[in-house]
Amino acid sequence: MGLIVVLLFAWMLVIAFLAFIACTFEDLESDMGSQSNPNSQVQLAAQVGQINRFFNKAISGEPLSNALYCATAGTVAWLLLLKLEPLVPGEEWKAAVLAIPVGVLAAAMVNMIFSVTSHCGRTAAMKRFEQPIYLDVLYGHLLPIATHAFMTTFCITCIAYIQSNLGTLSGNPSLNHPFALPLLGFIWGITVGSIGSSTGDVHYGTEREFQDRPFGEGKRVVYHGKITRYADCGVRTQRDIAGFCAKFGGPVTGMTFGLIILFENWRSMVGMQLSGFLPALPVFTSTADMAAVIGIVMGLLIVAALAVGNLVFVRWVRKKCGPFVGV
């Protein structure tokens, strides 16, 4: 079977969709466990007398912890695939259906272990500020954290599996990505974490964590540590926060990663298509070089469009909102 170009583009769109889901859940998972950047405020809260029922599991920076989960899932899935694929010759997808969820389950369990030790360790360190370890908070958050992390890791492992088999799935194995499944999981784990950390945390940190402060201004230094401890009804825990961020912060973060994956793959594919590189794949020729050149030019056009978009957007916001009028 020769390379089917339409199939190649279709897989690219599947990958972009999976990326959207992955990063949405990554952001919500970090909000759920307060692993986002504003976890410093949860840490600070007890020190300024704000005893709270927040879950604080800042294991490490989000990119590194997500790289750990995705690489763990990728490695377990990869090892299982090595053993299972020979059992189903010609129908290797059956091996993937079993191997990927099992690998991701292992990663979710690693996440839960780290979450427990991290939360207990951090909260125990705040004993001198009389911050207790609420056991219901500990137990109640573990399952939501694990399920959100499962979704993220599952989508990333699927992306890595598709990319490492993209050529095979589309008809020509030479188009498979040169990196192995665990390394692709590692790469996208780092990237999904850095996007979740840089984009999604804003909604949680500025808006939700200080919701009893004025809307429409950056959080002043005097407010730091004075987090909002009460929900619409009762005492606030992280489960209220994930529900709130799922309405805006999570999807926008997901769209960020989805767009990045879409743009990156799309410009490469379009370059290959326009230069005549597909479907014959004449590697190390002037046609192949032209594919790379077109991909680079497409990328530069995308960047230029985003820069102009930002210029127009910032100008529009300044006009709409006007100068700061508070005190």
For the chain, the distance separating the N- and C-terminal CA atoms, rounded to the nearest angstrom, is 70
**Which window, 10-18, 70-78, 98-106, 210-218, contacts other proteins (CB under 8 A)?**
210-218
Residue type, 306: L
Query: At closest approach, how far in Å is the CB of 74 from other proteins?
Result: 12
Q: Which member of 51, 102, 124, 293 binds other proteins (CB under 8 A)?
A: 293
Identity of the residue, 112 or 255, whose beta carbon is nearer to other proteins in the bound complex: 255
Distance from C-alpha of 106 to C-alpha of 69, rounded to nearest angstrom: 9
Residues 6+ apart with CB under 8 A from 267: 295, 298, 299, 302
> Closer to other proteins at the Cβ: 145 or 159?
159
Pick the closer one to other proteins by CB: 13 or 321.
321
Main-chain phi, psi angles of 143, to 5 degrees: -70, -45
Q: For residue 66, which of 186, 173, 159 has the smallest C-alpha distance? A: 186
Instruction: Measure the CA angle with vertex 176, ends 183 and 301; round to 5°.
Output: 85
Which DSSP symbol is given to 199? I
Q: Which of 198, 211, 228, 273 binds other proteins (CB under 8 A)?
A: 198
Describe the crossing of helices 181-195 and 62-84 by its angle, rounded to 10 degrees.
Answer: 160
34 binds other proteins (CB under 8 A): no
Find the part of the chain contacting other proteins (CB under 8 A) among 45-53, 115-123, 146-154, 286-294.
286-294
Q: Does 279 bind other proteins (CB under 8 A)?
A: no
Using CA atoms, how far apart are residues 121 and 64, in angstroms rounded to an integer? 19
Q: Which of 17, 179, 240, 246 binds other proteins (CB under 8 A)?
A: 179
Cβ distance to other proteins smaller for residue 115 or 197 = 197
What span, in angstroms and rounded, lies between the C-alpha atoms of 295 and 272?
A: 8
Cβ atoms within 10 Å, residue 136: 9
Q: What is the dihedral of CA 281, 287, 292, 295, to 10 degrees?
A: -90
- Using CB under 8 A as the binding rule, whether residue 219 contacts other proteins is answered as yes
Listed ranges 80-88, 90-98, 123-131, 302-310: which one lies at the site for other proteins (CB under 8 A): 302-310
- The least distance separating other proteins from the CB of residue 94, rounded to whole angstroms, comes to 26
Answer yes or no whether residue 2 interacts with other proteins by CB under 8 A. Answer: no
Q: How far apart are CA 32 and CA 246, in angstroms?
A: 11
Nearest residue (CB) to other proteins, 85 versus 207: 207
Choose the binding region for other proteins from 2-10, 46-54, 150-158, 219-227 (rule: CB under 8 A).
219-227
**DSSP string of 252-280?**
HHHHHHHHHHHHHHHHHHHHHHHHT-TTT
Question: Given candidates 180, 231, 246, 270, which one binds other proteins under the rule CB under 8 A?
Answer: 180
Contact flag: residue 190 with other proteins (CB under 8 A) = yes
Q: Is 10 in the site for other proteins (CB under 8 A)?
A: no
Identified binder of other proteins from the candidate list 24, 34, 35, 41, rule CB under 8 A: 41
Q: Identify any residues that bridge with 235 across adjacent strands, giving them in sequence order.
A: 230
Question: Minimum Å distance from CB 39 to other proteins?
Answer: 8
Residue 153: CA atoms inside 13 Å, Cβ hemisphere, count? 34
The reply on whether position 210 binds other proteins by CB under 8 A is yes
Residues 51-110 that bind other proteins (CB under 8 A): 61-64
List the one residue from 1, 128, 215, 234 that touches other proteins (CB under 8 A). 215
Distance CA 176, CA 101 (A): 22
